[in-house]
């Protein structure tokens, strides 16, 4: 517990006891003359004893015995505490009251044993409150620890998926460069230079929880340019990325898998191929769409690692739970995806 929380906790306790101590006096202000004898005898003294029982349990007995499952010792300790508290009330405080000429008399009538019995029962009130408060705090601390562990696990899993994506991206890019080395050495050189810029973003600028959407779009555009270096005239690639404000942020590397997938399954060496990308922002919603000619890879084609879309689905579930929608559809001619992200909170 931080010092600030500890101080806040002490202040709350002091305020509660201050209100309890002052309430009898405040309620008596409407009378002609407040009866201080009665206030001290029937309100302040019991509250003082309640505080002793409450804090003896709250600060020591509950942690030391009850939470350690030493129930018998806990019960015996409280019985001893009750006995000493009642003894304190019946003897020492009476002497103090008589010294100030405030006579401790039983105006309610009844036997002394009945009064002691009622006093004993009343001490169960602070005991129950201390147990309830302590168990509530313990549950709250355990819940905070559970959430912290869960959050740490979540962040580790997200980071693992992100690290998994990086070599996947690098591997696909190297495949592209490899195919250009013999066909067009000059294009291969340009591709390597472009890949260096992309990897710099991938390794350094995207190593945060969120990035500016504008920078992510710039990364996507550079990647599309890199991919277009190896495409033929039979491939028509169009993109429409909205100019966005720098204040809009998003988790990094969410759209790259959809673009990779479009190039992987949308290009044919013999037929005309079409690839389209569109990214728009509507209020607090990002909408990314991709559409490409459908040329499914054969089972023998092992280009890429095949983890792109699965990785994306897992990351979306972790990063945007109940705040995303990924639509994937295909037919004989087209393969389409639509990713909708709610970035409002």
Q: Which two tokens stand for residue 95?
A: 């002497």
**Sign of the C-alpha dihedral, residues 134, 139, 142, 147?**
negative
Dist CA 195 CA 213 (whole Å):
20
Give the residue extent of every domain in the chain.
3-122, 153-342
Class of domain 153-342: alpha beta
Query: Using an 8 Å Cβ cutoff, are 120 and 87 in contact?
Result: no
Q: What is the pLDDT of residue 162?
A: 58
pLDDT at 45: 73
Q: At 292, is the secondary structure helix, strand, or coil?
A: strand
pLDDT digits (tens, 9 = 90+) for 317-340: 888 888 999 999 988 889 999 999
Reading phi first (left if > 0) and then psi (alpha if -120 to 50, else beta), residue 243 is in beta
pTM (predicted TM-score) = 0.55
User: Which residues of the chain carry a pLDDT beneath 50?
Assistant: 1, 99-110, 302-305
Measured CA angle at 137 (ends 133, 143), to 5 deg: 145
The partner residues of 235 in beta bridges, in order of sequence, read 273
- Tell me what pLDDT residue 115 has: 52
Report residue 168 as tokens.
């996947």
Contact 216, 246 (CB under 8 A): no
Residue with tokens 């890879």: 297
């Amino acid at each position: 517990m931080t010092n600030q929380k500890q101080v806040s906790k002490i202040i709350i306790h002091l305020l509660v006891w201050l209100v309890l101590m002052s309430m009898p006096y405040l309620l008596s202000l409407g009378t002609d003359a407040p009866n201080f004898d009665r206030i001290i005898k029937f309100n302040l003294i019991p509250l003082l004893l309640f505080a002793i029982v409450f804090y003896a349990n709250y600060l020591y007995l509950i942690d030391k015995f009850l939470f350690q499952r030493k129930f018998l010792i806990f019960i015996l300790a409280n019985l001893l505490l009750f006995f000493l508290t009642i003894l304190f009330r019946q003897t020492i405080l009476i002497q103090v009251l008589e010294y100030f000429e405030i006579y401790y008399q039983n105006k309610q009538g009844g036997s002394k044993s009945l009064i002691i019995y009622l006093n004993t029962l009343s001490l169960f009130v602070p005991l129950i409150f201390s147990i309830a408060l302590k168990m509530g705090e313990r549950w709250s601390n355990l819940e905070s620890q559970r959430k912290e562990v869960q959050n740490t696990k979540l962040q580790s899993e997200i980071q693992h998926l992100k690290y998994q994506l990086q070599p996947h991206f690098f591997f696909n890019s190297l495949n592209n460069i490899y195919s250009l080395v013999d066909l067009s050495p000059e294009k291969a050189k340009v591709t390597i230079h472009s890949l260096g810029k992309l990897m710099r973003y991938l390794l350094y600028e995207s190593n945060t929880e969120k990035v500016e959407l504008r920078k992510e779009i710039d990364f996507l555009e550079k990647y599309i340019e890199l991919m277009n270096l190896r495409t033929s005239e039979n491939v028509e690639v169009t993109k429409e990325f909205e100019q966005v404000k720098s204040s809009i942020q998003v988790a990094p590397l969410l759209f790259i898998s959809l673009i990779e997938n479009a190039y992987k399954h949308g290009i044919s060496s013999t037929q005309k191929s079409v690839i389209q990308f569109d990214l728009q922002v509507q209020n607090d919603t990002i909408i990314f769409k991709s559409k490409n000619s459908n040329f499914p890879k054969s089972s023998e084609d092992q280009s890429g690692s095949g983890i792109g879309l699965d990785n994306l689905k897992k990351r979306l579930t972790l990063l945007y739970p109940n705040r995303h929608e990924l639509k994937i559809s295909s037919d004989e001619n087209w393969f389409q995806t639509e990713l909708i992200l709610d970035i409002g909170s």
